[in-house]
Amino acid sequence: MRAAVTVMALGGSLTLLPGCSGPPAGSPYFPLEAGHRWVYDQTSEWENNTVEHEAVVLSTLGEQALAQGGVAWQRRSDSGVDYWLRTDATGIFRIASKTDLDADPTPDPAPRYVLKTPLTVGTSWQAGTTTYLMRRNADFPPEIRHSHKPVIMTYRIEALGETVATRAGSFADCIRVQGQAVLKLFADPVAGFRDLPISSTEWYCKGVGLVKLQRAEPAKSTFLTGGVMTLELIEWQ
C-alpha cells in the first residue's frame, strides 16, 4: 500500500522521541496510535475480464523500540507484513518493514513518505513502486514485479476538503493524492518496448486515514495483461 498494495509501502536524523503519549502530532490524516483497525475490500479487475475480491485488514499496534535505535509506530497487515512509521515536521513516513519470513525489520534506505508536508495542493514527493496487477500472459511467474526492478512514482497532493463515499460511510475533509509512474516493458513483437503508465489515486480523510485507493496499470498488449485495482474501506475503528 502504498496501503495494501500499496498500499500502499516507509532513518537518519528523522526521529520520534520515545515515551510520548496520546496521538502522534501531525498525523490526523493517517492515525498511528494503537487500537485502530481498518478493513478494506480489494477488487482487482484485469483486462481479460477476470475479477477478484480480497479482504485486507490493517491494525495499529502502538510504539515499538527498534534495534537500529529509536522508536516508531507499528502497523500490521493480516497478510503478515509489519510496517514502522514516524512523523515529524516533514510529514508521515515509513522507516522499516518486515514479513513473517524475516527475523528482523528491514530498514528503508530513505524515509518513504505516506504524506508530506505542507498539506497543501502542489506538495509532491517520490517513492519506489512496483506493479501489483500487470502480468505476462505466457511466462512463469507471470507477475511483472518478480522480474522487473521498482520504478519511481511521483506523488502530488491534488485536492483538499473532498468528500468520499465508501461502504464504511461518507467522509469529509479528505486529501486526494495522485501518483504517476512509467514502466518500460517489452509489450509485443510489433510494438517492441513501450512506456506503460502506472497511476494511483488515494484519499486520506481526517481522523480516519486511507479510505479509498484506485490504481491503474493498463497494458493493452498481446503479451501482457493489465488492470485496475480498487481498495475501499468497509469497516474501521
User: Which one is predicted more confidently, 145 or 19?
Assistant: 145
Q: Is 5 domain-assigned?
A: no
The pLDDT of residue 220 = 78
Report the pLDDT averaged over residues 138-158.
Answer: 79
Query: Within a domain: residue 69?
Result: yes
Is-contact 232 214, C-beta < 8 A? Answer: no
Residue 52 in any domain: the answer is yes
Tens-place pLDDT, residues 51-102: 999 999 999 999 988 877 788 999 999 999 999 999 999 999 999 999 888 8
- pLDDT band of residue 150 (cuts 50, 70, 90) is confident
Half-sphere exposure of residue 118: CA atoms within 13 angstroms, side-chain side? 3
Give the Cα separation of 107 and 94 in Å (integer).
9
The Cα 198–Cα 217 span in angstroms is 5
All cell numbers assigned to 174: 479528505
Q: Confidence class of residue 18 from pLDDT cuts 50, 70 and 90?
A: very low
Specify the number of domains making up the chain.
1
The pTM assigned to this predicted structure is: 0.85
Least confident of 14-23, 39-48, 194-203: 14-23
pLDDT in tens, 128-146: 888 888 777 766 666 666 6
* Greater pLDDT, 124 or 226: 124
Residue 179 domain boundaries: 37-236
**Beta bridge mates, 55:** 41
Task: Write the secondary structure of the chain as one string of H (helix), E (strand) and C (coil).
Answer: CECCCCECCCCCCCCCCCCCCCCCCCCCCCCCCCCCEEEEEEEEEECCCCEEEEEEEEEEEEEEECCCCCEEEEEEECCCEEEEEEEECCEEEEEEEEECCCCCCEEEEEEEEEEECCCCCCCEEEEEECCCCCEECCCCCCEHHHCCCCEEEEEEEEEEEEEEEECCEEEEEEEEEEEEEEEEEEEECCCEEEEEEEEEEEEEECCCEEEEEEEEECCCCCCEECEEEEEEEEEEC
* Cα gap 43→24, rounded to integer Å: 32
| In-domain check, residue 24 | no
Domain assignment of residue 15, yes or no: no
pLDDT at 17 over 70: no
Nearest CA among 124, 99, 93 for reference residue 13 = 93
Q: Is residue 28 part of a domain?
A: no
pLDDT in tens, 168-221: 999 999 999 999 999 887 666 666 777 889 999 999 999 999 999 999 998 877
List the single range of 5-9, 51-55, 226-230 with lowest mean pLDDT: 5-9
Classify residue 129: in a domain, yes or no.
yes
